[in-house]
Structure 1
């Protein structure tokens, strides 16, 4: 299924650079220094209205001996500066060598902010059970998107990775850096891919962690990788349960119990008395709320499944997680436009052939983000060409079903000289503190030393 945006040809048109002006850094608390730059609201119309991009810097410990500036995006898409205030310890190693600079993407935080007057809807059952449920949710999401677009003013239609990559180039110039040194995590890797394609000869070193692949126009390929890892995590859970005496299903076949519970809930939703009288839980609600990714959740999940098998699905009555920041879905769906209910259901059927227990669920998260959003200018997935790009280091966790290693391997295969470092672990390897990955990243960012060919990292100790 080809989802290449109609605007790609226009999007990659060369844009004249802005003239950099020196940054005026001011102390802004928590050991940070803050500044702003001004950029065009729409880089394809650079003579139009301007907006501001907020920056924050965690200065290097040794200013005289530092190796330069490292620009970071931790993912989302979402606010970054507030996160840096809360997670400075994640960058404690990096400030031995670099000024660590983070920026709020356009529309967020300390940049020209968009305060959407209607909050984005949060689907507690995001595996939509039928077309009616999808349409009702899509109507709410459309109303959110329309109201948000009106509030966005000059930024309306200009929230995507193509625009943000140009903001990053303006930041590079304002920082006075001949080349950009960049660390991108999760959606921050989409920004890295866009920058690498648009400004390959301006890259110094680039580390991309937990790659959200933006190079694959075939949605089936993109989804299949997620489905396979999600199904593999289910099998890991089942294996753990068989070998762990404290698992509530230790004396049973966990796979058979899952199949039994799902079939029962599909025929007739299971009561959830702890959630209130008359509350019943369907199979799509269980699929929405069962998490097999993190080992720390497995014991409680097994206990919840055992209760559901006995006729009490209260464990699955509460939705996990929280809503994303409102604008996140606008950017995500501009970068990864997604089809409607009918096509998604067909894709679900395709995935069920190989990943019948839970992997098929991978079709639904992006539907939750994108359902009903009004059309905007997109920068959709397409094969990447980056002549002149220096070697990029890419890493991914084998258990990550959000940004699977297949994405990172595929991207690395398209970037000249890139190397992929697999690790036993999950999402955000560097930021979560995986010691082996961090050692390789430090050698690469400070000295350009790539991991040896075939290198991998075992589980974090």
Structure 2
């Protein structure tokens, strides 16, 4: 993402923020910009913890990082690369900032980390639920999740119950005011598109130009309908991988019937392990070499490639933030019904894809500060692009979001995070839109995944 920053001495400012599109509320003061990450600039803005009650005086901080524009400067572009997670600390990783070098040619690129995601809880989140779901595992997970939330009450502080995208959208408008921009130009990728959708719903008249990459649909509240497109896409990727393997002599299963082998392996005692392992990787074509090699090894009786490795403990609130925006089934029978529906839609693999496994993990979290999906009003100053082969944020999600906003949808080959992964065709359309206000023609498509 980035370029270079010179230190700017900034004045502490009181930012005006629209609460409903008509009223205003005062955001707290921000710190001066300071040098960070080898030449970039960082600051924080302090905002009300609860934008529904801004006068209570309780606040949270929102971290910002700025990459200065190269001339001629058009303005400021607010960016969230997704998650929900912290992205600003990743600027310490060599090469991370390069993803937004082109955007910084014309904009001050300002990256923000959503509120509360810098909180470290006393204990890690419970381990993800494996599928297929069982009632005992589900109930145990719900109890562990409830304990995690309770134990983190003090650490979460004012952020507790205020992590949803509606609160974040208000923060975004406070950032806009702090930066002195009349309108907000915005780039959201992956989960950053949820924040963009919420901002469009609350502050559509203040949007300048918006780009949503790999949109995650925050308009459909029925969980099976929401998850079905990703499940079907994952299943389709399994067949795509089989066709690739038939054509590429370098595939470990070249000359074999990959689908027939899959069916045999998934019916073995290790079948659930194999399905879960593959479901976590099938969304990225670059994983196919490792996937087919692992399947070949499994056929020979070696499932070591599928054996879960110890994961780094996660004591952050990202899953809690997700569950504020997608409060999916919190009882086992409802969750099991959704799993059953996805098995019908995508029986070989799709029912186990990542989006459903994550959204099925809200059990036990307190139902406070929820921001459930809702339909969007028209706000046509938006370009949306999703990859055809992305099961995490499937193309159907992007099309639905674009249609509700009356925006423009750019169809593209490829998987997740098209711009950030360097899809040259998509990047060209995005630059023309953000720099010149030129939207793709109806029916435009990027045929290459790169």
Superposed pair shares fold, TM > 0.5 = yes
Provide the secondary structure at the position in 2 that maps to 1:57: strand
> For the residues of structure 1 that align with 2:250 and 2:320, how far apart are their CA atoms?
43
2:145 match: 141
> For the residues of structure 2 that align with 1:21 and 1:138, how far apart are their CA atoms?
39
> For the residues of structure 2 that align with 1:321 and 1:184, how far apart are their CA atoms?
28
Which of 234, 243, 250 is 1:239 aligned to?
Answer: 243
Structure 2, unaligned runs of 5 or more: 1-18
Provide the secondary structure at the position in 2 that maps to 1:27: strand
How far did residue 137 of structure 1 move?
2.5
Provide the secondary structure at the position in 2 that maps to 1:370: coil
How far did residue 294 of structure 1 move?
2.0
User: Does 1:302 pair with 2:292?
Assistant: yes
User: Does 1:132 pair with 2:136?
Assistant: yes
* Greater displacement, 424-433 / 26-35: 26-35
User: Does 1:24 pair with 2:32?
Assistant: yes
> For the residues of structure 2 that align with 1:390 and 1:20, how far apart are their CA atoms?
31
Whether the aligned pair in 1 keeps the contact of 2:235 and 2:349 (CA below 8 Å) is: yes
User: Does 1:341 pair with 2:329?
Assistant: no
Equivalent pairs counted in the alignment come to: 425
1:271 match: none
* Greater displacement, 245-254 / 167-176: 245-254
Which of 261, 264, 268 is 1:260 aligned to?
Answer: 264
C-alpha root-mean-square deviation of aligned residues, in Å? Answer: 2.1
How far did residue 235 of structure 1 move?
0.6
Q: 1:402 to 1:264 in 2, by over 3 A?
A: same
> For the residues of structure 1 that align with 2:348 and 2:200, how far apart are their CA atoms?
38
1:357 match: 348
> For the residues of structure 2 that align with 1:147 and 1:203, how far apart are their CA atoms?
39
User: Does 1:426 pair with 2:402?
Assistant: no
User: Does 1:285 pair with 2:276?
Assistant: no
Whether the aligned pair in 2 keeps the contact of 1:289 and 1:319 (CA below 8 Å) is: no
Which of 108, 118, 122 is 1:117 aligned to?
Answer: 122
> For the residues of structure 2 that align with 1:56 and 1:320, how far apart are their CA atoms?
32
1:336-379 per-residue CA deviation (whole Å, 9 max, x = no partner) reads 01103322221222222231110111374224542322222200
1:82 match: 89
Q: 1:51 to 1:141 in 2, by over 3 A?
A: same
Provide the secondary structure at the position in 2 that maps to 1:47: helix
Which of 163, 169, 173 is 2:167 aligned to?
Answer: 163
Whether the aligned pair in 1 keeps the contact of 2:74 and 2:107 (CA below 8 Å) is: yes
User: Does 1:91 pair with 2:95?
Assistant: no
How far did residue 18 of structure 1 move?
1.8
How far did residue 12 of structure 1 move?
6.9
1:272 match: none
1:54 match: 63
Structure 1, unaligned runs of 5 or more: 1-10, 266-281
